[in-house]
Amino acid sequence: MLDQPQLPVAQRTNPERSFTEEVRALRLGEGEIFRGEGILAVTKAILQAGVAYVGGYQGAPVSHLVDVLVESQDLLDELGVHLETCTNESSAAALLGASINYPIRGCVTWKSIVGTNIAADALSNLASPGVIGGALIVIGEDYGEGASVIQERAHAYALKSSLWLMDPRPSLPTIVRCTETAFELSEATNTPVMMELRIRACHVTGEFVAKDNKPPAISRNHRLADPAAHNYDRISHPPSTYAHEKIKVEVRQPAAERFIVEHGLNEFLPGKRSDLGIIVQGGITNVLVRGLDRLELEGRIPTLVLNVTHPLVPEQIADFCRGKRAVLIVEEGAPDYIEQAIHAILRKRDVDTKIYGKDVLPMAGEYTAEVVTEGLLKFFAQSANDIDLSKPRERFEAARAGRTEAQRLLGGPLPLRPPGFCVGCPERPVFSAIKLLEREVGKVHISSDIGCHSFATLAPFNLGNSILGFGMSLAAAGAVAPVLERRTISVMGDGGFWHNGLLSGVASAMFNRGDRILVIMQNGYTSATGAQFIPNTAGNRRDGETTSDIAATLKAMGVKWLRTIRTYNVATMLGGLREAMNTPDKGLKVIVADGECQLARQRRIRPQIAAQLKRGERVVRTRYGVDDEVCTGDHSCIRLSGCPSLVVKPSPDPLRSDPVAHVNNGCVGCGLCGEVADAAVLCPSFYKADIVQNATWWDRLKWRVRSSVIEAMAGA
Amino acid sequence: MSRPVTLLIGALGGDGGGVLCDWIVSAAQSQGLGVQATQIPGVAQRTGATTYYLEVMLARGLSSSVLALNPAIGEVDVALATELLEAGRMIFNGFVTPERTTLIASTHRVLAIGERMAMGDGSFDVGRLLRAVKERSKEQILFDMDQAAEESGGVINAVLLGALAGSGRLPIPDAAFEASIRHAGKSVDTNLAAFAFGRGHARGELEQAVREHRKRQAAGHGVEDLLERARRAFPAASLDMVEEGVRRLATYQDKAYATLYLDRLDTVQALGSPELLRETARHLAVRMSFEDVIRVAQAKTSAERLVRVRSEVRAKEHEPLEITEHFKPGIEEIAAVLPPALARRLIGWAERTGRLGKVYFSMHVRTTTIWGFARLRFLASLRWWRPRTFRFVEEQAEIERWLSSIRAAAPLSVDLAREIAESARLIKGYGDTYKRGLQNYHRIADEVIAPTLAGRMAPCAAADAVANARVAALADPEGESLSKTLAAIASSATLRHAAE
């Protein structure tokens, strides 16, 4: 865990980036101007709202919330806020259990939809008894361009568990206000509140007027003498659960509807065209307003902005629609929960306004500027043909025609830039080894997982048959292995191992005597989310103590076939895989592929090396190179590695046209290209260069003697 | 309402697009301009493409109007790209338009993985990119920002910021941009230098010398008489290839070998097509200078190479350098330098005992030590022995077969002959790569070239077929594309044959 008390705060530096500026922003007081990103504004807002505890599991786009707080330990100490860097979302959701019995405010965060899936059990059991202290769940709605997960809506969870869902308009003052009010709403209705922020909203920059942070009345600085009295009503167990179910719909939901209206959480944007209207999710408002502006209709159409998308307030909706000919619902994603609900609300009240929504806008996919503009054009064409939209339509069509022309000029799709492994990544060699293994034994079923290693499913490796979720790769091979001749390989990161894989995967495979291979990438961080620390992060990598060791854990669980192999050694890794594939041992075979995340390592050692050089100490810099005269331009080495620093350049040979491989100056000297050239018997082009900086007199003497002899021997 | 200036930035992970975005935001804020930025970092943070979108109000004070979070097609005022393909991507997606967009982009290319992993040259046509850039944007500020960054000692994002300042598209003075670099506090001096470079280029105050790519000619001493013979015998258009061939082969082997090269070319010259002669001259020189351990040792121990490695790895003048070569010869590489009879027996034995393609000798030779260098130098000195080796004999036979099929094809169709000549391109590399290339060539020779020369396929169709098969052979190392293409060629030939 990151917030271990024995670890001096000064040493707790996140290797991904430093948050000095952000930490300063969290300390702003009454009346000062906060400037920064959306997710940082949320972080400031929860401190202003007086949270007593914060937790979360990292994932784009909300990692920053916890990351920044990890570096703000001094501030949290002053305020008395407890921070928990949870090992998965389930554990984060369970943290909110503190607000069931105690009037303390808490906030947790994760990436959705995946995180909400993991947290679902705890959320149900939290929502049932309800809370007395405000409970806020900030979910990063990873949807649309740049998303890395399956495209589903968190909305479903709000509906089924009776959690309130906020979807604030992406402007910092609105986001901050919604965050602060969410705690009040939660307390007024005894219900946890979810607040969804899309990717662009998390990263949107802006400013708002800050308030002082509020130290919580009950906190780790002000402890209670006694625990809460036993109250069976607060336990989600029958018969309490039968009562809870009724209270949710009979008491809490009506209270929430009242609160939403009384506090003006939803916004009304006026417009002259009283016969028309638009109802929009708060998060999509900017796209909508700009779309209306494009049609020269901004400020003319009455609009209801739903900063709270569950519950809807039936009377508010009905009042808005009453007397209008047509109303457009702008609701991103499928299914169309809001549109269906609005239909029901109006039907029950005999309001005969024609509702447009997913008939003029697409059912699935991100609502980009272009999509919304096209939907608006259709909506107005069908509902208000008195509005002349010929000019804007012409402009819109011209822009589209221009794009078609541009695509014709470029002649077909451009080369894609899929994410890949960083320069010197310790995970790349494992996949090089798996590729070489496949040359020997034939194709292998690869069960992939979430994490940087999932990039192996893309070029140049193209390895992987399925991804079933975080830490699920071993479990996902459970019924594949018995029907295949060759053993399956499941790949899992150490992040995934601690998140879920240990129990869902390893324990289950052991229990069922699964004859499978598991490769655990032990790089020491959850690297894909910004290099957060995890239980096995080794002491020397974080200057603190390791809480749990993967190999020791596996041994304790009874894993018999266990190898820890340094990843960069491709030949040894290949040997390990070969042995795991061929051994008569029928149990689970685990290879712990060990190699520190290179990105984190570089951030750690670069300043150290710079300091050494400055002090005049001897430092050997290693990097690799390709002899362009020896390389013939087949690029096998690239297909087996894909290292970003292994590039191509024009052949220096006047007789050859194929470009040759080249190692650029990004090389960190991990040695993989040499290892691959060796293990795959590629070619003699690669060389390793060790450059001695601040050489000693002995280095220099040796070098001078050798150089003079070699120069004399050298050929033309 | 007053319209904001919209900016879209396309960058690669690691280019510092986020920092660039922060600089612009803080410079705009310092001028009291309303500004909003957002980004899509996603999982693309490592090697993928990232985009950033900004809106800057031209008037002071934050306008009440809503700033958008998404770029819209046809509504981008300034598009910035740290790399040429990413500029192309913004154009492809319709964001860059000739009515409105100032395109500020670096002209250098960072090849995507799909382009790099191709078995030959897989890079996207730069000509197409540049044409789209010119035709699909209103104004352009284009130069090699990667080079400018290197020359200034800074990073590319600062060059781009400088170019943006130089474009004058934002009402923000240079001093405000510079102040935001200073305020960020990291690598301030180099970033300011890079900024100045970018601004200078954008304003046309600086000239950029195009980074040249130089081909290296073989040295080749004492072959003036052979060059003279070539000049007399061959058309001027082919001489660049022929002369390089002569020089290379004289260095690779000896003058007699270079003479053999010219003798072989005489027979191609007789076919009457200068283009065919040029292509054959090119490939013949490459084939005759096939890669064996002697050639590798020659390349690794040349005086020029030591200098080249030092500069490539950026070793400073006084810094000692140690070079370690990665060699892994197998039984075939050893057999290659033995006399044919002995080599065949060795390979036969290795095949019988299952050692062929299995047993290799991993050697890490340090060419910066006297002993390591001397060993390679000794190998390089075995040039005189080469004509007696198994590999040499085999290669000459292959070359003769290839040349004779060119000669046989030329009277039927010069195009076909040229395609056959060009197919030699498949044969390259070492170990498995070499074997795979040779096999692919043989498949094309057996399944397309031989039937055509035997009159079972129309020569003009065969020319296309050979070209297609060659492209297919370079499509995937597993040979699946080649198999499919050859099957399609065979079936269409049968059809045509039946139709006739």
pLDDT the model gives residue B14 = 81
What is the CATH code of the structural domain delimited by A30-212+237-261? 3.40.50.970
Report the residue from A420, A678, A714 with minimal CB separation from B113. Answer: A420
Tell me the CA distances in angstroms from A291 to A370, A409, A510, B59, B101, one per residue in order: 8, 28, 56, 22, 20
- Residue A288 banded pLDDT, cuts 50, 70, 90: very high
Chain B residue closest in CA terms to A677? B326
- A residues 298-317 lying closer than 8 A (beta carbon) to B: 298
Selection from A468, A164, A170 nearest residue A332 by Cα: A170
With contacts defined as CB-CB under 8 Å, which chain A residues touch B156?
A: none
* Distance between CA atoms of residues B28 and A206, nearest Å: 12
pLDDT the model gives residue B35 = 92
- Residue A540 banded pLDDT, cuts 50, 70, 90: very low
CB spacing of B93 vs A674 below 8 angstroms: no
How many Å lie between the alpha carbon of B319 and the closest alpha carbon of chain A? Answer: 6
- Residue A419 banded pLDDT, cuts 50, 70, 90: confident
Q: What is the pLDDT of residues A84-124, one digit of tens each?
A: 999 999 999 999 999 999 999 999 999 999 999 999 999 99
Buried b (16+ CB within 10 A) or exposed e, A16-53: beebeebbebbbbeeeeebbbbbbbbbbbbbbbbbbbb
Q: Is B240 on the interface with A (CB under 8 A)?
A: yes
Domain-by-domain residue ranges, chain A?
Answer: 30-212+237-261, 267-410, 428-600, 618-713
pLDDT at A15 over 60: no
How many Å lie between the alpha carbon of A132 and the closest alpha carbon of chain B? Answer: 36
Q: List the structure tokens of B281.
A: 């001259």
Q: Are A678 and A665 in contact (CB under 8 A)?
A: no
* Distance between CA atoms of residues B84 and B467, nearest Å: 30
How many Å lie between the alpha carbon of A99 and the closest alpha carbon of chain B? Answer: 33
pLDDT at A12 over 60: no
With contacts defined as CB-CB under 8 Å, which chain A residues touch B111?
A: 415, 647-648
Query: Mean per-residue pLDDT for A621-632?
Result: 94
In a mutational test of the B interface, the residue from A171, A414, A703 whose CB has the highest number of chain B CBs within 10 Å is A414
Q: Is A683 on the interface with B (CB under 8 A)?
A: yes
Single-letter residue type at B219: A
Q: What is the pLDDT of residues B208-220, one digit of tens each?
A: 887 777 788 887 7
* Distance between CA atoms of residues A208 and A171, nearest Å: 9
How many Å lie between the alpha carbon of A225 and the closest alpha carbon of chain B? Answer: 46
Q: Of all residues in chain A, what percent carry a pLDDT higher than 90?
A: 86
Chain A residue closest in CA terms to B13? A419
Q: Is A483 on the interface with B (CB under 8 A)?
A: no
Q: Is B307 on the interface with A (CB under 8 A)?
A: no
Q: Establish, for the pair of chains A and B, how many residue pairs have beta carbons separated by less than 8 Å.
A: 356
pLDDT at A557 over 60: yes
Half-sphere exposure of A606 (CA within 13 A, CB side): 8
Q: List the structure tokens of A291.
A: 């779309």
Q: Are B432 and B439 in contact (CB under 8 A)?
A: no
- Give alpha helix (H) positions in A411-451: 428-441
Q: Are B163 and B104 in contact (CB under 8 A)?
A: yes
pLDDT the model gives residue A444 = 98
pLDDT the model gives residue B495 = 64
Report the residue from B72, B85, B320 with minimal CB separation from A414. Answer: B85
ipTM over 0.90 threshold: yes
Q: Is A653 on the interface with B (CB under 8 A)?
A: yes
pLDDT the model gives residue A569 = 93
How many Å lie between the alpha carbon of B115 and the closest alpha carbon of chain A? Answer: 7
- The residues, any chain, with a CB within 8 Å of residue B201's CB and separated by 6 or more, are B141, B143, B148, B159, B162, B163, B166, B208
Same fold, A30-212+237-261 and A428-600: yes
With contacts defined as CB-CB under 8 Å, which chain B residues touch A419?
A: 13, 43-48
Q: Of all residues in chain B, what percent carry a pLDDT higher than 70?
A: 96
Report the residue from B94, B135, B377 with minimal CB separation from A399. Answer: B94
pLDDT the model gives residue B71 = 95
In a mutational test of the B interface, the residue from A288, A409, A676 whose CB has the highest number of chain B CBs within 10 Å is A409
Chain B residue closest in CA terms to A417? B48
Q: Kindly report the average pLDDT of chain A as a whole number.
A: 93
Q: Is B439 on the interface with A (CB under 8 A)?
A: no
Number of Cβ within a 10 Å radius of residue B205: 10
CB spacing of A35 vs B110 below 8 angstroms: no
In a mutational test of the A interface, the residue from B93, B326, B427 whose CB has the highest number of chain A CBs within 10 Å is B326
Report the residue from B14, B318, B428 with minimal CB separation from A633. Answer: B428
pLDDT at A13 over 50: no
A267-410: CATH, from 3.40.50.920, 3.30.930.10, 3.40.50.700, 3.40.630.30 = 3.40.50.920
Q: Is A368 on the interface with B (CB under 8 A)?
A: yes
With contacts defined as CB-CB under 8 Å, which chain B residues touch A294?
A: 72, 75
* Distance between CA atoms of residues B443 and B462, nearest Å: 14
How many Å lie between the alpha carbon of B29 and the closest alpha carbon of chain A? Answer: 10
CB spacing of A683 vs B477 below 8 angstroms: no
How many Å lie between the alpha carbon of B293 and the closest alpha carbon of chain A? Answer: 9
B5-202: CATH, from 3.40.920.10, 1.10.260.40, 3.40.50.2020, 3.40.50.300 = 3.40.920.10
Enumerate residue ranges in chain B where pLDDT < 50.
1, 44
Radius of gyration of chain B (CA): 29
With contacts defined as CB-CB under 8 Å, which chain A residues touch B49?
A: 417
Range(s) within chain B of domains with CATH label 3.40.920.10:
5-202
Report the residue from A170, A411, A684 with minimal CB separation from B325. Answer: A684
Q: Is B431 on the interface with A (CB under 8 A)?
A: yes
Buried b (16+ CB within 10 A) or exposed e, A411-427: eeebbebbbbbbbbbbb
* Distance between CA atoms of residues B213 and A548, nearest Å: 53
* Phi, psi at B27, each rounded to 5°: -65, -40
Q: Which CATH architecture has domain A618-713?
A: 2-Layer Sandwich (3.30)
Report the residue from B46, B67, B323 with minimal CB separation from A419. Answer: B46
The CATH number of domain A428-600 is 3.40.50.970: yes
Report the residue from A148, A199, A691 with minimal CB separation from B315. Answer: A691
Q: List the structure tokens of B486.
A: 């050859």
In a mutational test of the A interface, the residue from B50, B96, B322 whose CB has the highest number of chain A CBs within 10 Å is B322
With contacts defined as CB-CB under 8 Å, which chain B residues touch A686?
A: 325-326
Q: What angle do CA A666, A672, A673 make, to 5 degrees?
A: 75
With contacts defined as CB-CB under 8 Å, which chain B residues touch A452?
A: 46
* Distance between CA atoms of residues B66 and B3, nearest Å: 10
Chain B residue closest in CA terms to A712? B303
CB spacing of A200 vs B25 below 8 angstroms: no
- B residues 63-82 lying closer than 8 A (beta carbon) to A: 65-75
A521, β-bridge pairs: A493, A593
Tell me the CA distances in angstroms from A273 to A278, A346, B45, B103, one per residue in order: 11, 20, 45, 40
Q: What is the pLDDT of residues A45-56, one digit of tens each?
A: 999 999 999 999
Q: Is B318 on the interface with A (CB under 8 A)?
A: yes
With contacts defined as CB-CB under 8 Å, which chain A residues touch B315?
A: 689, 691
Tell me the CA distances in angstroms from A80 to A8, A53, A107, B330, one per residue in order: 18, 9, 14, 68
With contacts defined as CB-CB under 8 Å, which chain A residues touch B25?
A: 205
Q: Is B429 on the interface with A (CB under 8 A)?
A: yes
* Distance between CA atoms of residues B44 and B50, nearest Å: 6
With contacts defined as CB-CB under 8 Å, which chain B residues touch A575?
A: none
CB spacing of B47 vs A421 below 8 angstroms: yes
pLDDT the model gives residue A3 = 28
Q: What angle do CA B188, B192, B194 make, to 5 degrees?
A: 120
With contacts defined as CB-CB under 8 Å, which chain B residues touch A204?
A: 36-38, 69
In a mutational test of the B interface, the residue from A33, A448, A683 whose CB has the highest number of chain B CBs within 10 Å is A683
Query: Mean per-residue pLDDT for A166-178?
Result: 97
